[in-house]
């Protein structure tokens, strides 16, 4: 019986590795989806802010306005690197370090077009860090954004977050709608996550049963 359990354990562990391999590919796809989304978002949002704060825009010297646009374009070109860095932080992706007691709902997407979408915080906060990089440029050129501290004029927007380690990083704080490809890719990840988490629980259960049988065998064989 113990040999059957050992064989079953091997099968389940192989299945988990297979899940994690596919999940890694989905993670890379999500990073790419985020990069494409951020690239367009940087351009679109910069356009919104030069009109939202048109007086700031008109008061910028021509040289500064050109420099502002150049920095936005550079940021757009670097969206892939920024997305990879932000979305590769430890603890973001379950498959990189499978955790038995992780919440089943860790990667759930809630809501709809009527009530608004709510994305899983474990991913959404890093997407917002990617987008928050634009805030650094907006702040530099006087567009009423703060990305480093919560002081200044009362009408300024605070584009930053403070981590549990008290580290401040740029962060887009307003309503946000992910691209359809981002949402679909994460749904794929979530589907596999549920299956992989269940498999990990099965592995732990089999390991427990093997240990229980071994201790019973030891007891029975002890004079």
Whether 191 is in a domain gets the answer yes
Q: Which domain holds residue 113?
A: 24-197
For residue 179, what pLDDT band results from cuts at 50, 70 and 90? very high
- Partners of 117 in the β-ladder: 111
Asked if residue 105 has pLDDT above 90, the reply is yes
Whether 134 is in a domain gets the answer yes
Mean pLDDT of all residues in 26-51: 97
Range 15-23, long-range pairs (CB < 8 A, 24+ positions) = 15/199, 16/98, 16/196, 16/199, 16/200, 16/203, 19/95, 19/192, 19/195, 19/196, 19/199, 20/95, 20/96, 20/98, 20/196, 22/192, 23/93, 23/94, 23/95, 23/189, 23/192, 23/193, 23/196
Asked if residue 164 has pLDDT above 90, the reply is no
Whether 2 is in a domain gets the answer no
Domain count, the chain: 1
Whether 86 is in a domain gets the answer yes
pTM (predicted TM-score): 0.90
How far apart (Å, rounded) are the C-alpha atoms in residues 19 and 48?
A: 42
Whether 3 is in a domain gets the answer no
For residue 154, what pLDDT band results from cuts at 50, 70 and 90? low
Percent of the chain at pLDDT > 70 equals 93
- Give the up-direction half-sphere exposure of residue 34: CA atoms within 13 A in the CB hemisphere: 26
Mean pLDDT of all residues in 39-46: 97
Mean pLDDT of all residues in 45-60: 94
Mean pLDDT of all residues in 146-168: 74
Whether 13 is in a domain gets the answer no
Residue pLDDT, tens place only, 83-92: 999 999 999 9
Report pLDDT for 157: 85
Report pLDDT for 216: 86
Whether 1 is in a domain gets the answer no
Whether 129 is in a domain gets the answer yes
Average pLDDT value over all residues in the chain: 91
Mean pLDDT of all residues in 40-59: 95
Secondary structure letter of residue 164 according to DSSP = T
């Amino acid at each position: 019986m113990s040999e059957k359990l050992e064989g079953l354990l091997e099968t389940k562990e192989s299945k988990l590795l297979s899940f994690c391999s596919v999940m890694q590919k989905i993670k890379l796809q999500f990073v790419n989806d985020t990069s494409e989304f951020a690239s367009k978002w940087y351009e679109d949002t910069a356009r919104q802010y030069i009109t939202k704060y048109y007086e700031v825009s008109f008061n910028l010297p021509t040289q500064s306005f050109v420099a502002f646009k150049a920095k936005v374009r550079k940021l757009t070109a670097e969206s892939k690197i920024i997305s990879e860095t932000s979305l590769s932080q430890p603890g973001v992706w379950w498959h990189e370090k499978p955790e038995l007691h992780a919440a089943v709902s860790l990667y759930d997407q809630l809501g709809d077009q009527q009530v608004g979408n709510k994305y899983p915080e474990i991913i959404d906060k890093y997407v917002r860090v990617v987008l928050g990089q634009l805030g650094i440029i907006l702040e530099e050129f006087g567009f009423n954004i703060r990305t480093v501290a919560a002081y200044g004029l009362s009408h300024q927007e605070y584009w930053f977050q403070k981590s549990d380690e008290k580290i401040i990083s740029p962060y887009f704080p307003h309503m946000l709608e992910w691209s359809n490809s981002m949402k679909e890719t994460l749904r794929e990840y979530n589907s596999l996550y549920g299956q992989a988490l269940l498999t990990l629980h099965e592995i732990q259960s089999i390991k427990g049963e093997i240990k229980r049988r071994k201790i019973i065998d030891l007891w029975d064989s002890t004079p």
